Amino acid sequence: MLLNIEQIKVQYKDIVALHDVSLSIEEGQIVAVLGANGSGKSTLLKSIASLLKLSQGRILFNNESIGNIGAHNVVHRGISLVPEGKHIFAKMSVKENLLLGAFTQKDQTVREEALGEIYDLFPRLKERLDQKAGTLSGGEQQMLAIGRGLMSRPKLLMFDEPSLGIAPNLVPRIFEVIDEIRQRGVTVLLVEQHVQEAMEIADRAYILQTGNVALEGKAKDLLNSDLVKKTYLGM
């Protein structure tokens, strides 16, 4: 397993956000984490990224413990997070935003190679390299956020609601990009509100409810489960 999460508990003061959550991801997979608002999805990603501290349990990446080691150390280990809301630097150029994502790469040649891969994935960003990031459309900003996440050459790329705030006609492209990223050898952990689309590209899925794993299994199997049909697909 590339990532093993073993019975973690995370809390905000007296509020427990995750209760004994366990999850695993094999290298090369797309794993989706689904659930209603407040179910603990974003908390899970922030815990893996070491933005939140574990109260108990452990997180193993390549069989090494990464729980509570600090966000910058997690990136150095090979994990990158594309956060909800993009969080780009609006007054900086597209290229400057991308290069900020490459802080772990000290070799100029490696950084240039990474930029070339981003340009290949998102030709539109190459056309706007000197443009201020804040002037991009919502879809272009999401492309920039994804590109920045890829600049560190991660083994695992985590997405927190990548389709949020994107024009409906661009949502299918976001899922195409995520699948293409997996085909390029990057493992993906995906938190997403579009359940049908996420399940269609995922290998496995986990359903969180009030901080607990309510259901897990192959994504195609879960799509046919009564819980997913009734709760998330309105069937």
Q: Kindly give the confidence (pLDDT) of every residue in the chain, 235 residues in length, as a single tens digit, with 9 standing for 90 and above.
A: 999 999 999 998 888 999 999 999 999 999 999 988 889 999 999 999 999 999 999 999 999 999 999 999 999 999 999 998 878 999 999 999 999 999 888 888 989 999 999 999 999 999 999 999 999 998 999 999 999 999 999 999 999 999 888 888 889 999 999 999 999 999 999 999 888 899 999 999 999 999 999 999 999 999 888 878 777 766 5
- How many C-beta atoms lie closer than 10 Å to residue 87's C-beta? 12
Are 102 and 86 in contact by the 8 Å Cβ rule? The answer is no
Structural domains of the chain in order of their starting residue, each with its CATH number: 1-78+157-167+186-235 (3.40.50.300)
What secondary structure does DSSP assign to 105-142, as a single string?
A: ---HHHHHHHHHHHHHH-HHHHHTTTSBGGGS-HHHHH
Give the pTM: 0.93
Each residue of 177-209: pLDDT tens digit? 999 999 999 999 999 988 889 999 999 999 999
pLDDT of residue 13: 83
Q: Is the dihedral of CA 225, 198, 86, 25 positive or negative?
A: positive
Comparing C-alpha atoms, which of 194, 196, 201, 188 is closest to residue 223?
Answer: 196
